[in-house]
Structure 1
Amino acid sequence: MTTIAAPVQTPTIPGTPFAGGFYVGRFQIDGQQYALIVSPKTAGTLTGKWGEFGQDVPGARSYNDGRANTLAMAEAGSELAQQALALNINGLDDWYIPSRDELELCYRYLKPTAGENYCSFRDGDNASSLPVGYPYTEDTPAQTPAEAFRDGGAEAFNPRWYWASTQFSPDYAWGQTFDDGYQNVDHKDYQCRARAVRRELVL
């Protein structure tokens, strides 16, 4: 049975232990505010294909609702999504693969490296985040001040590509690199990392 969380007070500092994982930031879905929580690295990091190349998953097109995307992926046969939904971490079982905008929040607030950001057309653009996220500059966002999430830290994202749960087309899905923040799409049948997240209603 899936645990349904009641509204709770949330931290304000990214990387703070909270609600089974670590607080990332705030975002919205249909006007409702949520706190995004990233899973502990060891327990919540998965590797696999997003799905099958050429298979359309209409329910996985949301840019902000990663849980809805992940449920649709799992129903379509994605083993990666099924693994995420099966996670039980610190007594909580509502983990999922982040959407494009949720994954961007993880990079923006928990960037592991001190290097320059990739600044192409719209990298970092995030209409779902609170406050709204604007495209990256070379220096913004900076490396996270959360020590555990800095490069080499126990909770740090690897400076590699991570899947988002947002489908781009029957062949491609969104993802992001955590060395410079580059956002793009990749073949769904590539083996890549994903890191589970969950969310809490904000009072």
Structure 2
Amino acid sequence: MTQVAQQFIAAADLPERGQPLAGGTFFTRYWLNGEERALVLLGDELSGEWGEYGLDVPGAKSYSDGEANTRAMAEAGSKIAIKALELGAHIPSCLEGQLVMAAKADGLVTLREDRFHWLSTQYSAHCAYGMGFGGGWLGYGGKDDERVVRPVRSLPIR
């Protein structure tokens, strides 16, 4: 069942970084597609393959828009993308993953450091980007590798 997530946040209602918001931890403001947004890291951890090895997913190539990437992944049959969307969230893009890493470095969020986390940005038909939050490594791996995901929510700021 899909959870109904908060749709937007008023600028005056934004909490301090590192504080609860929309079922997770608010950690930064950023711009996406001409709109200022609040990024929230959920506590949920998903695990699985990014998707089918060798299947090109043209809609999952954005370095900034994780929600669009995640929707394209789900349409292509990705189980972890479907699970993230059911939470009312998405898998972070490369940009959003870097913002999560910055929040970790600032002590605002805690992340597993023993495994690479999938990002929603596709590298090729065979590989997708992943992030190692122990050292902040951005790399890529075979889409059929099992990795973890920490979903995020991105709320428009009004």
Alpha-carbon separation, structure 2, partners of 1:46 and 1:161: 12
Runs (5+) with no aligned partner, structure 1: 88-93, 112-143, 150-155
How far apart in 2 are the matches of 1:185 and 1:25? 25
Instruction: Give the structure with the higher percent helix.
Output: 2
Report what 1:66 is aligned to: 66
Of residues 72, 87, 107 in structure 2, which corresponds to 1:145?
Answer: 107
CA apart distance, 1:12: 4.0
TM-score (norm 2): 0.90
CA distance in 1, matches of 2:148, 2:131: 10
CA–CA distance in structure 1, aligned partners of residues 128 and 50 of structure 2: 7
Taking only aligned residues, the RMSD between alpha carbons, in angstroms, comes to: 1.6
For structure 2, the 5+ residue unaligned runs are none
Moved over 3 A (4+): 1-4
* CA positional deviation for 1:8: 1.8
Residue 11 of structure 1 corresponds to 15
Residues 1:103 and 2:105 are matched in the alignment: no
Structure possessing the higher radius of gyration over alpha carbons? 1
After superposition, residues 30-179 of structure 1 pair within 5 angstroms as 30-40=33-43, 44-87=44-87, 94-111=88-105, 144-146=106-108, 149=109, 156-159=110-113, 160-179=115-134
Match for 1:171: what amino acid? H
Give the strand-richer structure, 1 or 2: 2
Q: How many residues align?
A: 153
Identity %: 39
